[in-house]
Chain A
């Protein structure tokens, strides 16, 4: 479809409905107009054509529905009038941008209809006949994304409640293991020692009892490890730095990869609990990926608080991977990356992954936190 013709049409040249009396080319052209007119009028998205200053020349049916205005009311009014307060600056900066000679722009704002509803919309605007400057037209495609944004917000809310519930449950079970099972095992160990010390036992019995004691110790350690794996009590009791340091020591020993941990600004002041948990889990997941895929010799972990934000970086010296490729892989690695991203997002953070084959992988999570009030503790 010829776009110049389109904007001329939309500018109102076929407002009269008379069938042109002409040759075949004219009829062909008229059919073309009609097809365009239909596509314009009945498009599911709002379609608006304005002049270079943003004055409405034509609007389709969807636009009248979204703004609760009849067409005659819209025509001749500046489109900016229908942008909700607080969003006009973005709208007009788009208009200015186009008037400087740029051909397109897209952004998200809220509109305001005559019924005072403020739908959230995504706007894509394209300049027509722009070579001749602001005398050309602007074609605005406006999509109502209110429902989608709301669904996203609800999903976010739901996910973050789910994650909180999940962590609470893990904390509860960990405490239970610690408090009831752990305590009983302690009592058992103490009882065994008492029996062994009480009287000289026959050598065979003494050996058996030593075995019982060994098993009780082992059981105690395993219950403790299980509790820590669910959710380290240190994360609640002592804070992120202590919990991470402990986890890194254990991980390094278990997988045989050296860890170089450097905290900065997180050793004394606690971070908000959801940020501490998110960082702990993201680092944990990043390390799981390192152990599974990276073939690394060394991992560097940094958790640092800066003015207004905190960052957690996990950098390995392994084989790296092709990020483009990983985007499309339905396997665990991609899921692991998605999981980390989700986890960070739920605590208000962002996640960057840097990798290319042969140059290791770096995971950077960043969370906004309030600047510290007052002095140092």
Chain B
């Protein structure tokens, strides 16, 4: 059986050395090239056509995400496995959008890395367990606006107060604009929220977005 051909892209020589030793120790893998920055990674990926490119996110010059996007465009058969120190979902999204097939955290690299290389080489997606867990909980816990009233039974004042709140005005400011007391504004707010079934400020903004009161730029 042919060995999996792996390209390493990381600007840190010590990390690259560690990666190389670990991968070389696998009977079914070999390191066919190394790159210390994003541009070199793209060149090597195009020239060597490895099965998998292990890509550090933060590299000088072209960063890992940009390099990934180029490799996926020029040599789509090369699977990119991103290797980063960032657990934030934002980075995960960035790399997945760029076309990475897998995402491994540097802190726990080791067996996960090897598993990741095998998984993406087989054409599947690999996410580090820590990141995958987060992603699942974020997707399932994303709050949504429940069924809310249409607003038809809101009084003019209640509607106005809701709009101002959605735009981030303070009670005092709303009170000054409408020429009523802050307590009165609070009463309008409470009534409007109860009529619509809104639980908190986030719900008010969601409702406002839904009604087109805010331009969601």
Question: How far apart sit A145 and B23, CA to CA, in the bound complex (Å)?
Answer: 72
Chain B residues with CB below 8 A from A300, complex form: 200-203
Interface: B15 (CB within 8 A)? yes
Please determine whether B107 and A224 come into contact, CB atoms closer than 8 angstroms. Answer: yes
> What string of 1s and 0s marks CB contacts (under 8 Å) between A296-308 and chain B?
0010111011110
Residue from B26, B114, B205 whose CB has the most chain A CB atoms within 10 Å:
B205
Contact pattern, B 87-131, Cβ under 8 Å of A = 1, otherwise 0? 111110010000000000011111101100000000000000000
Judge whether B86 and A315 touch: CB under 8 Å: no
Closest to B63 in A: A237
- Whether A233 touches B86, Cβ cut-off 8 Å, given contacts A183-B14, A187-B17, A264-B205, is yes
**Can you list, as one digit per residue, whether each of A116-136 has a CB less than 8 Å from chain B (1) or not (0)?**
000000000000000000000
Q: Which residues of A contact B148 (CB under 8 A)?
A: none
Is the Cβ of B88 less than 8 Å from the Cβ of A234?
yes
Query: Is B214 engaged at the interface, CB distance under 8 Å to the other chain?
Result: yes
Is A362's beta carbon under 8 Å from chain B? yes
Contact pattern, B 1-27, Cβ under 8 Å of A = 1, otherwise 0: 000000000001011011101100110
Asked whether A234 lies within 8 Å of B106 as measured between CB atoms, the reply is: no
- Does A242 lie within 8 Å of B90, measured CB to CB? yes
* Inter-subunit contact B15/A190 (CB<8 Å): yes
Q: Let me know if B18 and A187 touch, CB within 8 A.
A: yes
User: Which of A183, A246, A305 is the one whose CB lies under 8 Å from B88?
Assistant: A246
Interface check B178, CB cutoff 8 A: no
Decide: A220 and B18 in contact? CB cutoff 8 A.
no
* Residues of A175-195 whose CB lies within 8 A of B: 178-179, 182-194
Say yes or no: B15 contacts A183, CB within 8 Å. yes
Q: Give complex CA distance A178, B21 in Å.
A: 22
- Candidates A194, A217, A224, A269; contact of B22 at CB < 8 Å: A194
Question: Is A221 part of the binding interface, using a Cβ–Cβ cutoff of 8 Å?
Answer: yes
Tell me if B215 counts as interface (CB < 8 A to partner A).
Answer: yes
Contacts of A269 in B (CB 8 A): 217
| A183 contacts B214, C-beta separation under 8 Å | no
B-side contacts of A188, CB under 8 Å: 18
A238 / chain B contacts, CB cutoff of 8 Å = 88, 90-91, 94
Q: CB-CB < 8 A to A268: which residues of B?
A: 217
User: For A372, what are the chain B residues with a Cβ–Cβ distance below 8 Å?
Assistant: 217
- Chain B residue numbers with a CB within 8 Å of A298 are 200
A301 near B202 (CB under 8 angstroms)? yes
User: Of the candidates A193, A217, A249, A313, which one forms a contact with B201 in the assembled complex, judged by CB atoms under 8 Å apart?
Assistant: A313
Whether A189 contacts B110 by the Cβ 8 Å rule is yes
Smallest beta-carbon distance A83→chain B, Å: 28
Q: Which of A188-225 contact B (CB under 8 A)?
A: 188-194, 197-198, 213, 217, 220-221, 224
Stretch from B68-76, B152-160, B167-175 contacting the other chain: B167-175
Knowing A182-B85, A186-B15, A261-B202, say if A366 contacts B168 (CB, 8 Å): yes
Contact between chains at B108 and A194 (CB < 8 Å): no
Contact flag A313-B90 (CB < 8 Å), given A249-B134, A264-B209, A376-B217: no
- Bound complex: CA of A317 vs CA of B203, how far in Å? 14
**A62 close to chain B: CB less than 8 A:** no
Contacts of B87 in A (CB 8 A): 224, 246
Task: Give A197 to B19 CA distance when docked, in angstroms.
Answer: 13
Bound CA span A68–B173, Å: 42
Say yes or no: is B179 at the interface (Cβ < 8 Å to chain A): no
A265 located at the interface, meaning its Cβ lies under 8 Å from any Cβ of chain B in the complex? yes
**Beta-carbon nearest neighbor of A180 in chain B:** B12
Report the separation of the CA atoms of residues A171 and B12 in the bound assembly, to the nearest whole angstrom.
20
Whether, in the assembled complex, B212 has its beta carbon less than 8 Å from a beta carbon of chain A, the answer is no
Nearest A residue (CB) for B173: A352
Chain A's closest residue to B172 (CB) is A352
Q: Shortest distance in angstroms between B46's beta carbon and chain A's nearest beta carbon?
A: 26
Question: Chain B, 25-43, contact with A by CB distance < 8 Å: what is the 0/1 string?
Answer: 1100000000000000000
| CB of B138 closer than 8 Å to a CB of A | yes
Task: Give the docked Cα–Cα distance between A213 and B87 (Å).
Answer: 19
In the bound complex, what is the Cα–Cα distance between A239 and B19 (angstroms)? Answer: 31
**How long is the Cα–Cα vector from A182 to B166 in the complex, in angstroms?**
42
Residues on the B chain within 8 Å of A182, using CB: 85, 106-107
A230 cross-chain contacts in B, Cβ below 8 A: none
> CB < 8 Å: which of A185, A191, A232 contacts B107?
A185
Instruction: List 16 A–B pairs whose Cβ atoms lie within 8 Å, in order of A's numbering.
Output: A182-B107, A190-B21, A190-B109, A194-B22, A217-B107, A220-B108, A224-B107, A237-B91, A243-B88, A246-B90, A264-B205, A265-B214, A300-B200, A306-B167, A306-B214, A306-B215
Q: Name 7 extra pairs, CB < 8 A, besides A238-B91, A300-B203, A304-B214.
A: A182-B107, A193-B114, A197-B22, A249-B138, A304-B166, A306-B214, A315-B200
- Using a CB–CB cutoff of 8 Å, the interface residues on chain A facing chain B are 178-179, 182-194, 197-198, 213, 217, 220-221, 224, 232-234, 237-239, 242-243, 245-246, 249, 260-262, 264-265, 268-269, 298, 300-302, 304-307, 309, 311-313, 315, 317, 352, 354, 362, 364, 366, 372, 376
